[in-house]
Chain A
Amino acid sequence: ELKVEQNPLFLSMQEGKNYTIYCNYSTTSDRLYWYRQDPGKSLESLFVLLSNGAVKQEGRLMASLDTKARLSTLHITAAVHDLSATYFCAVDFTFNNDMRFGAGTRLTVKP
């Protein structure tokens, strides 16, 4: 069965702290995406990870992909309030072109 699991589902952080969101998936894929969604808004693409060992950084966010472990991480460094949003990972399962999303991590950054 094609599964994508994100954890934690809810994350409350203090400003200035670091934390990591995890995305595990059930079967072979070499394409993983991270999206951000603000309340009542659409999705914004953050990262496209296309190979084992891929690492991408944008501002306070860094994403990595380990295809052997079937794991991606989204690391938040020195969180600020503006990062409060829901973050989704999505996996493109190569063998059938199906894309599955994680349940999302609702991040709240408190002053």
Chain B
Amino acid sequence: DSGVTQTPKHLITATGQRVTLRCSPRSGDLSVYWYQQSLDQGLQFLIQYYNGEERAKGNILERFSAQQFPDLHSELNLSSLELGDSALYFCASSALADSYNEQFFGPGTRLTVL
């Protein structure tokens, strides 16, 4: 158990809908990262937040957004969902801002878009 929690574990929804995935980092970690894993595109880095501020941005679509709250939990919002958004979404946390730190991954949320 990494200490990173993600809810929900599974999510099934329809095209065009909007969903929110939630992540709670390990106690004391200030950075949260979001990743997408799909058969088509493999593992992709989406976005990083550090202490409430966006720190780095990867391959995140405009339909996706994220935020980190004062209690350091983070939410990833996915809107206007398409079939191709079906994937495993992982969050990870680390102690500090930069990626020199080891990241600890949550169990993931499996999103299925029908």
Contacts from A to B (Cβ < 8 Å): 31, 33, 41-45, 48, 50, 88, 90, 92, 97-101, 103-104
Contact = CB atoms under 8 A, between A and B. Distances in A.
A99 B107 CA distance: 20
A104 B56 contact: no
Interface string B14-42: 00000000000000000000000000001
Contacts, number: 50
A56 to B, nearest CB: 11
B65 interface: no
The 7 closest A-B pairs by CB, nearest first: A97-B56, A101-B43, A99-B45, A42-B105, A43-B105, A92-B99, A45-B102
A33 B92 CA distance: 14
Contacts of B92: 43
Interface residues of B, number: 23
Nearest to A48: B102
A97 B48 contact: yes
Contacts of A31: 99-100
B105 A101 contact: no
Contact of B104 (A45, A100, A104): A45
